[in-house]
Structure 1
Amino acid sequence: MRLMTRDLQEAIAAVSDVYYPHDVKVLESNRGIDAVLEASGASRQQFVTLRYAAPVKIDAGTFDNLLLFMTCVDGAAEARQGRISVHWGKGRTLPLSPNISSQLTFDRQFCQKSIRLDKNLAEEVCSRLIGRALDVPLRFRLTPFSANLEAAWRQALHLIRAFEDPDLSLAPHAWKQFEEFLGILVVEAHPHNYSDVLRHLSSAADPRLVREAEHLMQTGGPAITVGEVAKALRVSLRSLELGFREARNMTPIQAHRRIRLNAAREALLNSTPSTSVTSVAMSCGFPHLARFSGYYQQTFGETPNQTLRRCRSGEA
């Protein structure tokens, strides 16, 4: 969708169709607007470029269910949500949380590139990270992104732009994975009303928890997942991952893989005439043989076939 208009009501109607019903007031009565609106993507994940080419004040109502991240590419603006207001300018991104009374003021040069995320998905991500249901809706602090988050966000938007090419368009399930990545990025890196809970979880986990997780990985068989381990221990995935990084300098997935690789090596070193690399790989939870061989060689310095041959020749 692309619209160029000098008609304020036409611009309001078009933006309302993309985002939400709102009111716009031009702050210089003797000058009109010269609006440009571009929108792409699915209705739930609109990527929008908008410029009025006039100083305007916008009453956005309560931003019903709209989780919006607005990047200023030129000019400057002010946003107010509830009792909090903030100014931001070129090269900065501001998160606007849903269901809060919101007003925006743009100067004449202001141009934005914005993307909306699914509010429910963002809250689901936050809930998963803290390991429990949210008591109240997720609310991001009304302040521009930090420099590090801004750089990561800019790369993400660049990637979204690349997928606007029809030959590269993301399938719906692929976009959901990408949107979840964006949700994790902002939930972990930008302040919000659950940041203190996440910081508390960021402290080093009890090494006992790591030992119990490793025991479950060893006794639960190759099919047990990290999620099932966390659930059995009644901790969040984030707590489990932080514990392994602190205690083992690896992720739980890497630790589980190492346990299965050790079991595979033990089976190869104690082989019988019927033992094969394929049977060992499958029994230890490695259905992809080439990947198993790569992991094995990287860990033990030889291929599974070399281990099996050494064992059978009496060199092991």
Structure 2
Amino acid sequence: MKEDRDATMEQVTGHITGQMQSGPEDLPLGSHPLFATGDLDEARDRVARVYCDHRLEVMGRAPLAARHNRLDGQDLSINVLTYGAKTQIAPGALEEFYLFQFPLRGHASINTGTRGYEIGGGSGGVLNPDDDVSMIWSEHCVQLMLQIDRRSLQRAARTEFGLPQGAALRFDGARALEGGAGQSFLGLLRFVMSESQRGAALLGQGSAMGRQLERTLLVGLLQSQLPMPDAAGAAQSNGGAPRVTRRAEEFMRANLGAPLMIEEIASAAGTSVRSLQAAFRASHGCGPMNVLRDMRLERAWEELSNPGVETRVTDVATGLGFFHLGRFSEHYRKKFGCAPVETLRAARRG
């Protein structure tokens, strides 16, 4: 059984670390070192600066050999930390952040004040901000950790999965990440970490891609660590679905020229992205972004059919968010049976 457990762990952690060698010096995120020390007080102080104040004690005979690599984003950071020695860590309540932990090597015993569990061998877990946490990390334990701003993760849970406003977002114990959503989440983490090793600045730059990547990591964490209901079934049984679609359509119609994202539409409709998609599939047979595109095409037809002196197809298209004119013409012809310029010419002749 132990051999099977070790094989499973190697398979899962190999997805993150590639060819990680046996020595603790070969930590992932090596191009982003935060500190390395054998001094207990220094290790405690350096970790406390980015996490929170805590008690740190060495257990057993192995010497402390702490190393911490860290990649900072805006709402989260990716961390790889080892103490080398068997250690007891007692931060109490984290307060301002959630902390996802996944041992790449070794294991950790977690006590939250109300229950205890163990992570390692392909399983990880998330510490809640208000848990009274204490942990014991095994000798040579290497942890991959995602530190996430409390409000940002709660906002993602409300937007993407319909967590009610004011409801607590809580994680409970260890979850295996060998396959499915867990494997996909680890694969995304591996991509971000490997790109950072190549010098690509994907996180923390304030770019649209960086923000989207962080949002995807939050969604991946939630999907891999929380039991998710069947969104489509929930929407079909929800009597409020027509009201949701009506609110979404009103918002889209009032903002046809704005670069809308599905998260904004869901928020305006007072629901989650999943529930919004399910409601639109039930009522329209397609997703909300397809409906938005059709609304924009209909507005384009109205403007081209009632042109002013300076009305141009390009201006109408770009004003409604169609920046690929060839694709705009293709969608327009499919919907109305003619090219946009033909509608404009016919209106001017008439």
TM-score, normalised to structure 1's length? 0.76
1:152 to 157, 178, 184: 184
User: Could you say if the C-alpha distance between residues 261 and 145 of structure 1 is closer, same or farther in structure 2, counting changes exceeding 3 Å?
Assistant: farther
The amino acid that maps onto 1:112 is Q
Matched, 1:277 2:310: no
Shift of 1:239: 3.3
**Quick one: which amino acid aligns to residue 62 of structure 1?**
A
User: Are the structure 2 counterparts of residues 254 and 78 from structure 1 closer, same or farther at C-alpha, using a change threshold of 3 Å?
Assistant: same
Alpha-carbon distance between aligned partners in 1 of 2:252 and 2:79, rounded to the nearest angstrom: 49
Closer/same/farther in 2, CA of residues 26 and 126 from structure 1, 3 Å limit? same
Matched, 1:139 2:170: yes
Work out the CA distance in 1 between the residues paired with 2:335 and 2:249. 27
The offset of 1:301, in angstroms, is 4.7
Q: Which moved more, 1:300-309 or 1:178-187?
A: 300-309
Report what 1:286 is aligned to.
320
Counterpart-to-counterpart distance in 1, 2:77 and 2:55: 20
Whichever residue aligns with residue 181 of structure 1, its letter is: T
Partners of 2:321 and 2:257 in 1: how far apart? 11
- 1:279-300 Cα deviation digits (max 9, x unpaired): 5436xx5254x42541441464
CA gap of 1:201–1:118, structure 2 versus 1, over 3 A, is farther
Could you say which residue in structure 1 is the equivalent of 2:12? none
What's the CA shift string for 1:1-56, capped at 9, x where partnerless?
3433333333222222232222233331x432233222342696333221222222
Question: In the alignment, which residue of structure 2 is the partner of 1:27?
Answer: 59
168-177 or 54-63, larger mean C-alpha shift: 168-177
Equivalent-residue separation in structure 2 for 1:38 and 1:134 (angstroms): 35
Higher relative contact order (CA 8 A, sep 6+): 2
Query: Structure 1: where are the runs of 5+ without partners?
Result: none
For each residue in 1:236-266, what CA deviation from the matched residue of structure 2 results, as whole angstroms up to 9, or x when unmatched?
5553332013333432122111122244346
1:56 to 2:92 alignment: no
The alpha carbon displacement at 1:73 in A equals: 0.7
Matching residue of 2:110: 79
What is the SS of the residue equivalent to 1:121? helix
Q: Hey, what does 1:182 align to over in structure 2? A: 217
Kindly report the root-mean-square deviation, in angstroms, between the aligned alpha carbons of the 2 structures.
Answer: 3.9
42-51 or 55-64: bigger deviation: 42-51
Is 2:226 the partner of 1:191?
yes
| Residue 132 of structure 2 is aligned to residue 96 of structure 1 | no
Q: Please say which of residues 45-54 and 114-123 is displaced more in the overlay.
A: 45-54
- Point out where structure 2 has 5 or more consecutive residues left out of the alignment: 1-32
| 1:222 aligned residue (246, 256, 264) | 256
For residues 263 and 47 of structure 2, the distance between their equivalents in structure 1, rounded to whole angstroms, comes to 42
Give the aligned residue type for 1:212: R
Percent identical across equivalent pairs?
Answer: 20
Partner of 1:41: 72
Question: After alignment, is 57-66 or 223-232 more displaced?
Answer: 223-232
CA distance in 1, matches of 2:47, 2:82: 11
Partner of 2:143: 112
Letter in 2 for 1:152: S
Which residue among 293, 297, 314 is the counterpart of 1:261?
A: 297
Q: Aligned equivalents of 1:243 and 1:42: distance in 2?
A: 33
Which range is displaced more, 156-165 or 88-97?
156-165
**How many correspondences in the alignment?**
305
Aligned-partner SS, 2:92: coil
**Contact 1:73-1:111 within 8 A present in 2 as well:** yes
CA contact (8 A) 1:79 1:86 kept: yes
CA spacing shift, 1:39–1:267, aligned 2, 3 Å: closer
Check whether the contact 1:277–1:304 (CA below 8 A) recurs between aligned residues: no
Rounded to whole Å, the distance in 2 between the matches of 1:67 and 1:280 is 46
Change (3 A) 1:36 1:251: same
State the distance in 1 between where 2:89 and 2:224 align: 28
Q: Which moved more, 1:292-301 or 1:61-70?
A: 292-301
Q: Corresponding residue for 2:278?
A: 242
Deviation at 1:120, TM superposition (A): 1.2
Between 4-13 and 222-231, report the one with greater CA deviation: 222-231
CA separation in 1, counterparts of 2:77 and 2:267?
Answer: 35
Q: Does structure 1 residue 168 correspond to structure 2 residue 204?
A: no
Instruction: Judge conservation of contact 2:242–2:279 (CA < 8 Å) in 1.
Output: no
> What letter matches 2:107 in structure 1?
A
Which amino acid counterpart does residue 216 of structure 2 have in structure 1? F
- In structure 2, what is the equivalent of residue 68 of structure 1? 99
